[in-house]
A and B are shown apart, each in its own frame.
Chain A
Amino acid sequence: MIRDITLGQYYPGNSWVHRLDARIKIIWTFVYIVSLFLIKDFWGYIAVLVTLALIIGVSRVPLKFILKGLKPIFLIIVFTFTINMFMTKGTPLFTLGFLTITREGLYNAVFMGIRLVFLIIGSSLLTLVTKPINLTDGIEKLLSPWQRAGLPAHELAMMMTIALRFIPTLLEETDKIMKAQMARGADFESGNIMNRAKSLIPLLVPLFISAFRIAQDLAMAMEARCYRGGSHRTRMNGMKLKKKDGVACFLMLAYLALIVLQRGVW
């Protein structure tokens, strides 16, 4: 079962959004994130909601799948919501002991809560509809203009590619070590937090050693295949912008214009 894990949280598909150039999708996501902070009232959120609904509809990623991404940060949302509700000064609505809920507080809490939810949904949508490997290629391409300024764009992308490649290998390795230690009486499941953390040491030490061994093997194999960094290198799948990427770009600009306008007009 450990072999079947999906890398990242990519949702396989072949929709229009899936097939877009990764660079466009990354830029779109950035514009989207910035736009969330430009919005100043609930009317703005309607524009965001419609855009988001359209993208999700076209991508055919089930809504359940997307909302699952909210689970890990649910606590943060509740926390922000509560802090905003109680800590904002203004017209009191009602009082609970020493806590006062104000009208502005309630407004802020809901406003911030929605912003956070939109933020997470939008950015997780990027990884849902883009293969991790295309994402690293896109990042490499987007960062390459800064290469002259000394940013190691190729090296960063290569590191991400290798990390993606070796996640399953290291998971398998972890599984193996865990079983070996359990066979010799190690106990990973009982005891309090401190004891459990301690019991991880016989797992982590061999895992680190094995990760270094793998790294050494891989470095040698890469050298044997003439790897010498990013210069000289060509790519089999050069990224070419197609017509639909232009359309996506146009839609992005239209969206951005709308958000900027709402800020100016209302």
Chain B
Amino acid sequence: MEHIIRIDDLVFEYKREEQLEPVRAVNQVSLEIERGSFTAIIGRNGSGKSTLAKNINALLLPSSGAVYVKGLNTADDTKLWEIRQAAGMVFQNPDNQLVSSIVEDDVAFGPENLGIEPGEIRRRVDDSLYSVNMYEERKKAPHLLSGGQKQRIAIAGVIAMRPECIILDEPTAMLDPHGRAEVMEIIQKLHREGITIILITHFMEEAAKADRVIIMDSGRVVLDGEPAQVFLHIEEIKSLNLDVPFAVDLACRLRKRGVEIPENLITTEEMVEYIACRFK
């Protein structure tokens, strides 16, 4: 499989004024992200997951090591815009990332920056709004929309730039359960359409929907693999003060009581179905 992102021995340090010792937010991380994959990165606050994400589209540059997007080094100034176009980013706060007071103008912001001709921008804006189910709202002001809707607009703004990869930095952290479900649905749909997804989150249920889970702690990768495999390390995950998905926790407790549960059940839906079938 082809790698869209390669991270080689990435170290990111920053200096706090009061401390002379620089803080290592990301500590010797090496990763490869396959084209078309859906990766979830989980970790506590301060585990370095957001810093890692900002290194991928050159918002931050490595202190040492290197990050490659489509084979382009993020430290290369001349490729900066190509990298940011290829790896779009959605942020946590839905209010603080929208630029214009009209939805469709905001979605057009990215393509306008890329210097695309007006007719093509129009087409891209309409396509993007359709794909996040927000076409009806295109003339509205963002402050009249719900959090989930605003986050979908932010996603549309990124898709309009036709990226190959989207990095979402805790996109659902500030949303209510309904908004969270809306956004997750869109993310999964984009993944099916072939866009590489990197989802940073602290909701385990969301991570369970990915096809690869990376758990980070103090700037290092602690666990990395398929969700079913990663969530088997239930004790280790709990020792990092993280939860496991409800279904995994339930399966683990049932197993302790001697009930046989297959290992690949990680989402609540799968678990419900399994239990319903077995204990009918």
Contact = CB atoms under 8 A, between A and B. Distances in A.
Interface of A: 3, 7, 132-133, 161-162, 164-165, 168-169, 172, 213-214, 217-218, 220-228, 232-238
B118 A224 contact: no
Contacts of A237: 105, 118
B113 A133 contact: no
Given A226-B84, A227-B113, 9 more contacts: A3-B143, A161-B101, A169-B96, A217-B96, A217-B97, A218-B99, A221-B96, A232-B113, A236-B122
Contact of B112 (A7, A172, A214, A235): A235
Contacts of B54: 220
A221 B91 contact: yes
Nearest to A137: B105
Given A218-B97, A223-B59, A226-B114, A236 B108 contact: yes
Contacts of B91: 217, 220-221, 224
Contacts, number: 101
B240 interface: no
Interface in B98-122: 98-102, 104-105, 108-118, 121-122
Interface string B49-63: 000001001010000
Chain B, interface size category, equals: 35 or more
Interface in B26-54: 54
Interface in B131-161: 141-144, 154, 157-158, 161
Contacts of A169: 95-96, 143
Given A3-B144, A236-B125, A226 B101 contact: no
Given A165-B142, A236-B122, A218 B96 contact: yes
Contacts of A222: 99, 109
A221 B113 contact: no
A238 B100 contact: no
A236 B102 CA distance: 13
A235 B118 contact: yes
